[in-house]
């Protein structure tokens, strides 16, 4: 068997990653390529005598490192939804929710929505739509759906929306911002806070370093 045939057979026999992750070979190749590039920058800096030219080489090296870091932040492939993702979503929702908890405008908007059922439903649907857009439409990251609930509903979507709504209910109740003796008004006020909180939860989940 020729060497090319062996190589082709080896590639065909290699199993595909069911979760869509980059293979170890691809990851290693990217890391090795970056290391080689940095070594070439270092070697070039040593061969340059002029201080100004050496400074330019070092600036180019820093730009390469910065570009590599940015490429790691955006365009990641995200699969699955675990406890760490849930914690990130909670943190994002809480950070976006604090202004909603302390500002009286949240209660004012809630009062308006409580008297307008269509606007209340529309606001709730808009919040869900924003989260879907951030996670799956805007392509901020390459978010993959894995093991959806009932084969249809993404677990990440349920987690992000659920933690946002539950956080709004618990915090606003504990802080005395809503009174459940009037359930419609309380629910409308929660929805008002839920919309920006769900956006924060979605961003907190898919963006690293949050």
Predicted pLDDT at 197: 93
Predicted pLDDT at 112: 95
- 30 by Cβ neighbours in 10 Å (0-12 / 13-18 / 19+) ranks as middle
Predicted pLDDT at 143: 63
Q: To which residue do tokens 């970056």 refer?
A: 34
Both structure tokens of 29: 């190749």
Secondary structure of the chain: what % helix, strand, coil (to 5)? Answer: 75, 5, 25
Predicted pLDDT at 207: 73
Nearest partner of 106 among 183, 179, 189, judged by Cα: 189
Please state at what angle helix 117-132 crosses helix 183-206, rounded to 10 degrees. Answer: 10
Predicted pLDDT at 203: 86
Which residues of the chain register pLDDT less than 70? Answer: 1-81, 138-147, 208-210
**In whole angstroms, what is the distance from residue 43 CA to residue 163 CA?**
51
Q: Is the pTM of this model over 0.85?
A: no
Predicted pLDDT at 111: 95
For the chain, the farthest-separated pair of C-alpha atoms sits apart, in whole angstroms, at: 80
**In whole angstroms, what is the distance from residue 148 CA to residue 191 CA?**
25
């Amino acid at each position: 068997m020729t060497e090319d045939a062996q190589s082709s057979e080896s590639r065909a026999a290699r199993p595909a990653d069911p979760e869509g992750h980059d293979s170890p070979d691809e990851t290693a190749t990217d890391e090795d390529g970056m290391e080689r590039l940095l070594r070439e920058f270092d070697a070039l800096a040593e061969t340059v005598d002029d201080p100004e030219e050496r400074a330019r080489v070092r600036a180019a090296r820093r730009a390469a490192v910065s570009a590599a870091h940015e490429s790691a932040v955006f365009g990641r492939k995200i699969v699955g939804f675990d406890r760490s993702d849930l914690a990130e979503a909670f943190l994002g929702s809480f950070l976006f929710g604090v202004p909603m908890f302390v500002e009286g405008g949240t209660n004012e908007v809630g009062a308006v929505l409580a008297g307008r059922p269509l606007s209340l439903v529309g606001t709730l649907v808009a919040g869900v739509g924003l989260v879907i857009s951030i996670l799956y439409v805007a392509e901020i990251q390459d978010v993959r759906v894995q093991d959806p609930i009932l084969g249809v509903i993404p677990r990440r979507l349920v987690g992000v929306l659920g933690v946002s709504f539950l956080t709004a209910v618990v915090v606003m109740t504990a802080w005395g911002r809503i009174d459940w003796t009037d359930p419609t008004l309380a629910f409308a006020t929660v929805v008002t806070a839920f919309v920006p909180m769900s956006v924060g939860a979605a961003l907190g989940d898919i963006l690293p370093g949050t």
